[in-house]
Amino acid sequence: MKGLWLTIMQALGQKKVKPKPPIYDEQEREGMRRAGRFNAQLLDFIRPHVKAGVTTLELDRLAYDYTIDHGHTPACLGYKGYPNTICTSVNEVVCHGIPNSRPLREGDIVNVDMTTIVDGWHGDSSETFLLEPVTEDARKLVQAAFDAMHVGIDAIQPFGKLTDIGRAIERFARLRGYAVVQEYQGHGLGREFHQEPGVPHYVPKLNPSTVILEPGMCFTVEPMINAGTWRTMLDKHDKWTVRTMDLSLSAQFEHTVVVTETGADILTETENGPKPGHKF
């Protein structure tokens, strides 16, 4: 009977009801803060190693060893079959780039994305590094991606709309001549790697989110900003690497945030990385 009812509902075009985003109390938020702090610490550890001549496989090994040595768990390793600890997305790679043996070169931009599990809670962040000297076009794109992330975070208000985030990011990027990737988005975070709410970095014309931002919600804000088209393509061989459809440059920054009674707290702020207002 349940199967028959499901078939009827699907035939009528009814949608599956999404679970509500979890709302964390103060104790749970502290668990998320601990995970975020370590994730930021790991990114600061990797920072000086991201330079020309180093392979992304070396960065991956360093991240794995540091995480294990501190008693924590690399969340990406083995997740849905992903083979490594971090994602390293170079130049036209939008996201989910698999570390490899190609040495990084001067002029590259590379996003390093890492997620760690600390006492059962997830911390998730990423940063795009410029391997100087880079072109002025690359620098402007990276700047726009960094600023777009903070524009989205600044749009978060308690009991505001989730769509406020995407609207702010999309407007900011378009005014600067860039495109916002639509196929990939931010996500809720907690004891699970990916959960509600999904966080688009634009406002979908069909079925925009109706989620209201409540204090205690945790999620990532991670806009992927392209120099050319917003469209992307998935590597047919490894089934992970995502590139821009026109092979133009792409840049991304990511923070985990918690909605508070006054706005949003960033849980993955690094000590040595760029802060709001930073100029690349």
Question: What value does the CA radius of gyration of the chain take, rounded to a whole number of Å?
Answer: 19
pLDDT at position 16: 63
Q: What span, in angstroms and rounded, lies between the C-alpha atoms of 228 and 236?
A: 21
pLDDT at position 212: 98
pLDDT at position 262: 95
Instruction: Point out the residues of the chain with pLDDT beneath 50.
Output: 1-14
DSSP the chain: -HHHHHHHHHHTTPPPPPPPPP---HHHHHHHHHHHHHHHHHHHHHGGG-STT-BHHHHHHHHHHHHHHTT-EESSTTGGG--SSEEEEETTEEE-PPP-SPBP-TT-EEEEEEEEEETTEEEEEEEEEE-SS--HHHHHHHHHHHHHHHHHHHT--TT-BTHHHHHHHHHHHHHTT-EE-SS--EEE-SSSSSEEEEE-SS--SSS----B--TT-EEEE--EEESS-S-EEE-TTTS--EEETT---EEE-BEEEEE-SSSEEES---SSS--TT---
Q: Which two tokens stand for residue 16?
A: 């599956």
Would you say how long the chain is, in residues? 280
Contact 63, 48 (CB under 8 A): no
So where are the chain's domains?
21-266
pLDDT at position 15: 53
Q: Which two tokens stand for residue 25?
A: 């109390």
Q: What is the pLDDT of residues 98-122, one digit of tens each?
A: 999 999 999 999 999 999 999 999 9
- Judge: domain 21-266, CATH 3.90.1200.10: no
Contact 78, 119 (CB under 8 A): no
pLDDT at position 18: 78
